[in-house]
Structures are given as structure tokens and as C-alpha cells.
Amino acid sequence: MRPFAYRRATDAQTAVAALSERPDAMYLGGGTNLVDLMRLGVVSPGALVDVTRVAAGTVEETADGGLLIGAGVRNSDLAAHPAVRRRYPMLVQAVLSGASGQIRNMATVGGNLLQRTRCSYFQDVSKPCNKRRPGSGCPAVEGDHRNLAIIGHSDACVATHPSDMAVALVALGAIVHVEGRHGARRVPMPGLHRLPGDEPERDTVLEPGDLITAVELPALPFTTRSRYRKVRDRASFAFAVVSVAAALDTADGVVRDCRIAFGGIAHVPWRAELAEEALRGAPATAAEFARAADAELTRARPLRENGFKVPLARNVLVRTLTDLVETP
Ligand SMILES: Cc1cc2nc3c(=O)[nH]c(=O)nc-3n(C[C@H](O)[C@H](O)[C@H](O)COP(=O)(O)OP(=O)(O)OC[C@H]3O[C@@H](n4cnc5c(N)ncnc54)[C@H](O)[C@@H]3O)c2cc1C
Ligand code: SF4
């Protein structure tokens, strides 16, 4: 591993200034993804700016009844917070479905959102990979892509986004607070992560030196009735093959409103807007849930080895929505 300098920032402006001074520096959250990638030689920063004490440990009420979560909040603390547990169960379930207790104790909200893909070619520096080395090619298109994207991918990259938490945040319509070289701004989700197109090296719309300072959850009363369901190859310590985050608001057997997002199927946590549209005003029945899933998944373009994800995504969505109807 390349030797690197270490510095701890205590406020956002100092952190951003530190990266402006050293373009080869990177922010360090819990280090559970970044340090692995440094060991593998995928990234080789000359300096790490520790941001775990910037906006650390705070979950605050917002004026409009939502929550503001500091980027340095550890995943375990987020999942244990009483207001998050009461108001956003899908977020708690998503966080707890990821990694292990030890990793969640280290991992931060900011770092979780910006973790890199688990595509095996990306992590193997002896292989070409357009995301790691632009223009070198994408061996996954013809190679091992069982766990990769079925929707929104390009010839340049068929990777999936790995975060469970991000799927719930996209369904909830979270807003990411960012401090950058030109001041503070807000980035809505979906909208933080980007599809690969012909620039798969860019996972997000963030610019060099941008620091995530917080994530804002809007007030959505019906998200108390929400759920995250994850299908994976083994019961723990595994990334999603397919996952669904869903919230449902029904009255007299009819869907008044809903929020749906998929994980494990795209380069971004995928908000299922066509499915949501199909469901609003429809009877809250398994047949309608299947129709909504089909509306979304008409966009799917599976690869040679991952066509199974299309019916899997459909079934997981139908099951999740049915559970929400059946559970008071
Ligand atoms: C064995 C294993 C299993 C796992 N399983 C799952 C799983 O099932 N589901 C899942 O979702 N995740 C899983 N993970 C991934 C884990 O959730 C992430 O590693 C973790 O959330 C990253 O958070 P971190 O704070 O450690 O980030 P770091 O590793 O510190 O940083 C990740 C990236 O974010 C950048 N960064 C960090 N903080 C900020 C900030 N505030 N602003 C801007 N940039 C920032 C860093 O520069 C780096 O590029 C697993 C990890 C391991 C090792
Ligand atoms: S799918 Fe993306 S990350 Fe994987 S090898 Fe291709 S370009 Fe690299």
C-alpha cells in the first residue's frame, strides 16, 4: 500500500479546504470500504482526511417534521435511534440487513452512500475495468455478471450499486447535504447516484472535494408502514441480489400513495416510479402489485446470466407490498 498522510478534520470547511490543498487526498469515514480498496490497490490516496468527527453523532428534528442525520452517524446508531425506528422502519431494516454488527459500528452514513461497487473485476487490479481505468474495457459484459445490473446499464459498465441503506433513502426521497469548494448545496435522492452511460468512473454527481455533511429525511407519515426485503446468496454478510424498499398508504382497500425502490438491479438505487404511478388509486391486491412490478420491469434488459433477477424482483416486490397490506 502506498504510504499516506493522515489528518483529522473537526468541521466541514476545514475538511473541504484540506482536499482542495491536496487533490490526491480522500475523505475517510469508518474506512470499512476505503481501506479495503487501498489494500487491493484499487485506490491509492496520498492523504486521508478523517471526517468522522464532522457532523458526527447527531440526529435532529427538522422544522417540517423530518429528521436531519449527520454524515458521521454510525450505521448502528442510526438503526438504533428511536425516532428512526418509529418513523422509518424500512431504513432501519435496510441498515441492519447490511454487513455485520462490527462493520455497522464503524461505517458512517456518508461513507455508506459512497461505497464502491462489488463487481469482482473492479476489485481486481490485474483485470481491465472502465470504472477503475476508463477506456480499458468491461470484462463483466461477457464474463461473470450474475450479480450485476438488469436495468439502466450501458455497454461501458453493468455494475450494481451495493448499499442497502441507499435503497431506503431513495424510496424516502432523502436530501443529501453537501459542502463543496463553492459552498453548501442539497442533492435530492434519487439524483445523487448516476447511471454509468459512457462515464462509469463517476458513481455520483458529486464533484472532487465535495463532502457529505448530512442526510435529511422528509416527513412522510405513511412511512411508519414500510419495509425492506433483501434476497441474498447467504443469510448474512452478503450484498443484495435483489432488494425492495416499500412504503404503502391505503384507505378502504385502495392505494392512496406509495414509495418503492429496488436494490441490486442497477448502477443506482432504483426508484420504481412507473410502479408507483401504476399503484396510486389502484386496489391494494396482489394482482395490482404484480401489474405495477411488470410496469417497472418492462425497462429491464437482463444480461446472459442474470435474467432470473427479473421475476425475482417482481416476486419480491409483490411479497413486500402484500406483507404491508396484511400487517396492520
Ligand atoms: C464484509 C463486508 C460486507 C458488507 N456487506 C454490506 C451489505 O450487505 N450491504 C451494504 O449496504 N453494505 C455492506 N458493506 C459495506 C459497508 O456498508 C460499507 O463499507 C460502509 O457503509 C462504508 O462506510 P464507511 O464510513 O466505512 O466508509 P469509508 O470506507 O470510510 O468510505 C467510503 C467512501 O466514501 C467516502 N466518504 C466517506 N465519508 C464521506 C463524506 N462524509 N463525504 C464524502 N465522501 C465520504 C470515502 O472517501 C470513500 O470513497 C459490507 C462491507 C464489508 C467489508
Ligand atoms: S461492470 Fe463496471 S465495474 Fe464491473 S468490470 Fe465492467 S466497468 Fe468495471
Task: Report how far ligand 2's centroid is from the alpha carbon of 202 (Å).
Answer: 12
Ligand 2 neighbours (beta carbon < 6 A): 117, 119, 121-122, 129-131, 138-140, 148, 157-159, 200
pLDDT score of 288 more than 90: yes
- The pLDDT confidence band at residue 94, using thresholds 50, 70 and 90, is very high
**pLDDT (0 to 100) of residue 102:** 96
> Given pLDDT bands bounded at 50, 70 and 90, which one contains residue 235?
confident
162 Cα to the center of ligand 2, angstroms = 13
CA–centroid distance, residue 51 to ligand 1 (Å): 13
Identify the band that residue 193 occupies on the pLDDT scale cut at 50, 70 and 90: very high
d(CA 21, CA 28): 16
If you measure from the C-alpha of residue 277 to the centroid of ligand 1, how many angstroms do you get, rounded to a whole number?
A: 32
Mean pLDDT value of segment 56-64: 88
Q: Pick the range with the lowest mean pLDDT from 81-85, 236-240, 282-286, 294-298.
A: 236-240
Strands 226-231 and 242-251: antiparallel
Average pLDDT of the chain to the nearest whole number: 96
**Hey, what's the torsion of the CAs at 186, 191, 192, 195, to 10 degrees?**
-160
SS (H, E, C) the chain: CCCCEEEECCCHHHHHHHHHHCCCEEEECCCCCHHHHHHHCCCCCCEEEECCCCCCCCEEECCCCCEEEECCCEHHHHHHCHHHHHHCHHHHHHHHCCCCHHHHHHCEHHHHHCCCCCCCCCCCCCCCCCCCCCCCCCCCCCCCCCCCCCCCCECCECCCCCCHHHHHHHHHCCEEEEEECCEEEEEECCCCECCCCCCCCCCECCCCCCEEEEEEECCCHHHHCEEEEEECCCCCCCCCCEEEEEEEEEECCEEEEEEEEEECCCCCCEECHHHHHHHCCCECCHHHHHHHHHHHHCCCCCCCCCCCHHHHHHHHHHHHHHHHHHCC
**Section 93-112 average pLDDT:** 97
What count of other Cβ atoms lies within 10 Å of the Cβ of residue 57?
11
* pLDDT score, position 270: 98
Query: For atom 22 of ligand 1, which residue has the closest CA?
Result: 112
Closest Cα to atom 43, ligand 1: which residue? 211
CA distance 5 to 8: 10
Q: How confident is the model at residue 119 (pLDDT cuts 50, 70, 90)?
A: very high
CA of 241 from ligand 1 middle (Å) equals 18
Across the range 120-134, mean pLDDT stands at 98
Give tens-digit pLDDT for 290-323. 999 999 999 999 999 999 999 999 999 999 999 9
Report whether pLDDT(328) > 90.
no
Whole-model pTM over 0.95:
yes
What's the whole-number mean pLDDT along residues 139-143?
Answer: 97
51-55, 190-194, 262-266, 307-311: which range is least confident on average?
Answer: 51-55
Cell numbers standing for residue 11: 468541521
pLDDT over 70 (residue 213): yes
- Using CB atoms within 10 Å of the CB of residue 282, give its burial: 0 to 12 exposed, 13 to 18 middle, 19+ buried: middle
Q: Relative to the CA of 145, which ligand 2 atom is closest? A: 1
Select from 162, 166, 165 the least CA-distant residue to 187. Answer: 166
Q: What is the mean pLDDT of residues 156-181?
A: 98
Q: Indicate if the pLDDT at residue 4 is higher than 70.
A: yes
Q: Whose CA is nearest to atom 3 of ligand 1?
A: 99
User: What pLDDT, on a 0 to 100 scale, did the predictor assign at position 327?
Assistant: 81
pLDDT at 242 over 90: yes
Residue pair 158/138 in contact by the 8 Å Cβ criterion: yes
Kindly state if the Cβ of 30 falls inside 6 Å of ligand 1.
Answer: yes
Identify the band that residue 89 occupies on the pLDDT scale cut at 50, 70 and 90: very high
pLDDT at 146 over 80: yes
